[in-house]
Structure 1
Amino acid sequence: MENETSAIALEARDLVKIYRMGAVEVHALRGVDVEFRESELVVLLGPSGSGKSTLLNILGGLDNPTSGTVMFRDRVLSLGSERAMNLYRRNHVGFVFQFYNLIPSLTARENVALVTEIARDPMQPGEALAMVGLADRMDHFPAQLSGGEQQRVAIARAIAKRPDLLLCDEPTGALDSKTGILVLDAILRINRELGTTTALITHNAVIAEIANRVLYFADGRIVETRRNTIQRAPAELSW
């Protein structure tokens, strides 16, 4: 469980991101400072366009900031080096998105195995699927799985390489509340059992109650930070 004395896993300083579309400039991030501690679960909350996904993409090495720095375990990331960022993503970061991006012609086990084949110290695909409650669905194809089951396969794929960071962008956004609870349960279990530093984007303020800490975004800035003294279990949420 995260506490204020645990080491910082990931931090960013003075992140600015400006998208230029012709003569128009869109300021997606406006000097954001943020840190995530080892084993912490942080929820990023705010309206669409407030900068949450832009920040997560930069922290995960999927995008470059206009200016600012990102540090992973006290080492500055070479944001301009494609090779360095490929290694960072491969060895340290797992991603979960709103849409599952599974390969339809592969079983759940085979979809997860795609990641384990390139990881340094992977789990067995079956082990990762068991962690998200799909031990009995490993040989099913995506079309044979519900939306929640497909999302849990995507989570298993993300964690099978034992990432230090799990970055989740609206992982329950396409799901009903009952199914979303199962997905959140899987994310919370991974955070607690593997000690994976986890950041989760949502529009749903209720989901924030499962976090150690909540970051509120507006207009490209973090406008408020709240620490939860009590984390609620997903099954306790009233969606």
Structure 2
Amino acid sequence: MSQPVFTAKALTKTYGSGEVMVHALNKVDLEIAEKEVVVLLGPSGSGKTTLLNIMGGLDRPTSGRLSFRDLDLTDLEDRELTKYRRDHIGFVFQFYNLVPSLTAYENVALVTEVAHDPMRPDEALALVGLEERMHHFPAQLSGGEQQRVAIARAIAKRPAVLLCDEPTGALDSKTGIRVIEALLGVNRQLGTTTIIITHNASIQEVADRVLFFADGRISRIQTNETRRQAAELTW
């Protein structure tokens, strides 16, 4: 494994107190390498989204440590966490969160206007196969195209890490496969570490590693010696 982009040690997140305390994460130890594609699988409430939110600087652990490369995220002030998110993390969610009154190009430009050393909006859209659709509004795009605009927006600032929470959850299989193709293309062309939460077990086949979650812990780690292409998936 190459140099870790994330290192978690005894990472724990609890909610409540006393007898009603819930461990969303329970002493998770983990390393994720630069340029890896990692899929997180497990039932709802197993800790996947909590881990993703802590990695993205959207939440903080109750105890334990999490490092991004050589930066310990655990004790950062809010302003420092905001800078970390801005400079290093791209987010892709199940719902696209596009501005309906802006074109695809303009939605991506919202990020490029504030990022340090961004790629051009048209360049980001071309990476996800939407160079011919950049001047269309969200209502003129299919669900899969809107999700690819969201991916282009996330990668336009050249993040080190792409955190994806159910990116195909609202899509049919054909459209979902195109979205997975876009994510894998970004990983391949830009070297972006890509972490995908999904309930769709088929998607695990495109990953370098699969982390299975249960009850706030990683119950099993699977390494795929051969990764399948997105076009080979069925569900």
TM-score range, shorter chain: over 0.9
**8 Å contact kept, 1:32–1:221:** yes
Tell me, in whole angstroms, the C-alpha distance in 2 between the residues paired with 1:214 and 1:181. 18
State yes or no: 1:172 paired with 2:172: no
Corresponding residue to 1:16 among 12, 15, 24: 12
Tell me, in whole angstroms, the C-alpha distance in 1 between the residues paired with 2:53 and 2:146. 22
Corresponding residue to 2:99 among 97, 103, 107: 103
Alpha-carbon distance, 1:70 to partner: 1.0
Alpha-carbon distance, 1:77 to partner: 1.6
Q: Please name the residue that 1:224 is paired with.
A: 220
SS of residue paired to 1:104: coil
| TM-score, length of structure 2 as denominator length | 0.97
Q: Please name the residue that 2:87 is paired with.
A: 91
**8 Å contact kept, 2:8–2:64:** yes
State yes or no: 1:39 paired with 2:47: no
Cα deviation 1:197-218 (Å, max 9, x = unaligned): 1100001111000000000000
State yes or no: 1:72 paired with 2:81: no
SS of residue paired to 1:231: coil
Q: Which amino acid aligns with 2:185?
A: R
Distance 1:221 1:174, change over 3 A: same
**8 Å contact kept, 1:61–1:79:** no
Q: How does 1:1-239 map to 2 (within 5 A)?
A: 4=1, 6-20=2-16, 24-239=20-235
Structure 2: state its 5+ residue gaps.
Answer: none
Tell me, in whole angstroms, the C-alpha distance in 2 between the residues paired with 1:22 and 1:224. 29
SS of residue paired to 1:29: strand
Q: Which amino acid aligns with 2:120?
A: Q
Cα deviation 1:78-131 (Å, max 9, x = unaligned): 544101100000000000000101111111001100111111110000000010
| TM-score, length of structure 1 as denominator length | 0.96
Tell me, in whole angstroms, the C-alpha distance in 1 between the residues paired with 2:224 and 2:102. 40
After superposition, the CA RMSD in angstroms is: 1.2
**8 Å contact kept, 1:209–1:228:** yes
**8 Å contact kept, 1:191–1:197:** yes
Number of equivalenced pairs? 235
Alpha-carbon distance, 1:21 to partner: 7.8
Tell me, in whole angstroms, the C-alpha distance in 2 between the residues paired with 1:79 and 1:205. 35
**8 Å contact kept, 2:6–2:67:** yes
Structure 1: state its 5+ residue gaps.
Answer: none
Cα deviation 1:123-171 (Å, max 9, x = unaligned): 0000000100100110111111111000000000000000000000000
Alpha-carbon distance, 1:220 to partner: 0.4
**8 Å contact kept, 1:78–1:85:** no
**Runs of at least 4 residues of structure 1 off by over 4 A?**
none
Alpha-carbon distance, 1:22 to partner: 9.7
Cα deviation 1:173-202 (Å, max 9, x = unaligned): 000000000000000000011000110000
Q: Which amino acid aligns with 2:4?
A: I
Tell me, in whole angstroms, the C-alpha distance in 1 between the residues paired with 2:27 and 2:177. 34
